[in-house]
Amino acid sequence: MAAIGGQWFPPEWPDRIRALARGELTPVAPRRAATVMLVRDGAGGGLEVFLLRRRASMAFAAGAYAYPGGAVDPGDQDVLRAAVRETFEEAGVLLAGPAPGELIADVTGADWETDRAALVAREVSFADFLARRGLVVRADLLGGWARWITPEFEARRYDTFFYIAALPAGQRTRNASTEADRTAWLRPAEAVAGYDRGELLMMPPTIATLRSLLPFTTATEVLAASAGRDLTPVLARARLVGEEVVLSWPGYEEFEKRVTAEDGGEERKR
């Protein structure tokens, strides 16, 4: 499929958009979800962000680069706790401590891995894990950054809150996710350039939030900027203009797609 840069665009979308327009497809309710943009100050200076690449076998966004995250579980209590849990499950980083203002410095031991695996398998709730460890979530370390809702025509829909958080001192990221085949710390400009060259596949929310990090040079600057972020949800709009499918994200013109029936699902050159 023709595409601009590395934008993820499933071939089934045009048919689903047409079905929605004809009233043949009922939108599913989006599940609440959370994702965390882990950042750190690079060794040579400059900001770096943690990304993982979803396995090619994944049903949703296969091969795309994304941040650690996932749907809110019933035991999470709220979306912030889900963000902390998912970061621990997928990146091996725990934004929690024994008391407010304190942080766990190292969660790489075998006992921590046993607990992490139990969380992934849903053998223990996040609340029970925290209580047994005598920990409290450090919600103050996460700043709201963006909110995106999966388009109405998608089979899997999420109302996703994007948070920014600095990698805690002493902790190390790793590929702890069964859904990813690699991870990388990249400068936002480096990741954006890879996307623009078509080398790094990404969904619109990922590349949009990466572009929004370009003006910042330190983790401290980014966290401070989160206080003024607009968290109005971004939701794609799909419409039919004759036989042409037009898909757009308000405020993000670079993601607009136009596909005709004659294109056979291929994006029309503009």
Per-residue pLDDT tens listing for the chain (270 residues):
334 567 777 788 888 888 888 889 899 999 999 999 999 999 888 999 999 998 876 666 778 999 999 999 988 889 999 999 999 999 999 999 999 999 998 898 899 999 999 999 999 999 999 999 999 999 999 999 999 999 999 888 999 999 999 999 889 998 888 888 899 999 999 999 999 999 999 999 999 999 999 999 999 999 999 999 999 999 998 888 887 888 899 999 999 888 876 554 444 434
Residue 122 lies in a domain: yes
* 96-97/47-54 β-pairing: unpaired
- For 66-93, what is the HEC assignment? ECCEEECCHHHCCHHHHHHHHHHHHHCC
Cα–Cα distance between 183 and 53 in angstroms, integer?
Answer: 6
Q: Please tell me whether residue 230 adopts helix, strand or coil conformation.
A: coil
Residue 127 lies in a domain: yes
Residue 165's CATH number: 3.90.79.10
Query: How confident is the model at residue 261, as a pLDDT?
Result: 62
Cα–Cα distance between 122 and 112 in angstroms, integer?
Answer: 15
Q: Which of 203, 196, 195, 213 is nearest to 149 (CA)?
A: 203
Query: How confident is the model at residue 244, as a pLDDT?
Result: 86
Q: Which domain holds residue 68?
A: 28-232
Query: How confident is the model at residue 270, as a pLDDT?
Result: 40
Query: How confident is the model at residue 5, as a pLDDT?
Result: 65
Cα–Cα distance between 171 and 216 in angstroms, integer?
Answer: 22
Residue 257 lies in a domain: no
Query: How confident is the model at residue 215, as a pLDDT?
Result: 97
Which residues on neighbouring strands pair with residue 77, listed in sequence order? Answer: none
Residue 263 lies in a domain: no
Show the CA angle centred on residue 186, arms to residues 88 and 267, nearest 5°.
100
Query: How confident is the model at residue 262, as a pLDDT?
Result: 56
Residue 249 lies in a domain: no
Instruction: Please state, in angstroms and as integers, the Cα–Cα distance from residue 135 to each residue in 82, 98, 123, 210, following that order.
Output: 15, 4, 19, 31
Q: Which residues contact 130 (CB under 8 A, 6 or more apart)?
A: 96, 136, 137
Residue 119 lies in a domain: yes
Instruction: Please state, in angstroms and as integers, the Cα–Cα distance from residue 184 to each residue in 177, 191, 193, 211, 255, following that order.
Output: 13, 10, 15, 17, 24
Q: Please tell me whether residue 262 adopts helix, strand or coil conformation.
A: helix
Query: How confident is the model at residue 59, as a pLDDT?
Result: 64
In angstroms, how far is CA 82 from the centroid of its own chain?
13
Question: Residue 141, CB half-sphere, CA atoms under 13 Å: how many?
Answer: 26
Determine whether 253 is exposed, middle or buried from the number of CB atoms within 10 Å of its CB (0-12, 13-18, 19+). Answer: exposed
Show the CA angle centred on residue 105, arms to residues 99 and 106, nearest 5°.
125
User: What DSSP character marks residue 237?
Assistant: E
- Asked whether the CA dihedral 173, 229, 249, 147 is positive or negative, the reply is positive
Residue 259 lies in a domain: no
Query: How confident is the model at residue 21, as a pLDDT?
Result: 84
Show the CA angle centred on residue 25, arms to residues 19 and 64, nearest 5°.
80
Task: State both tokens at 116.
Answer: 């992490």
Residue 4 lies in a domain: no
| Number of structural domains found in the chain | 1
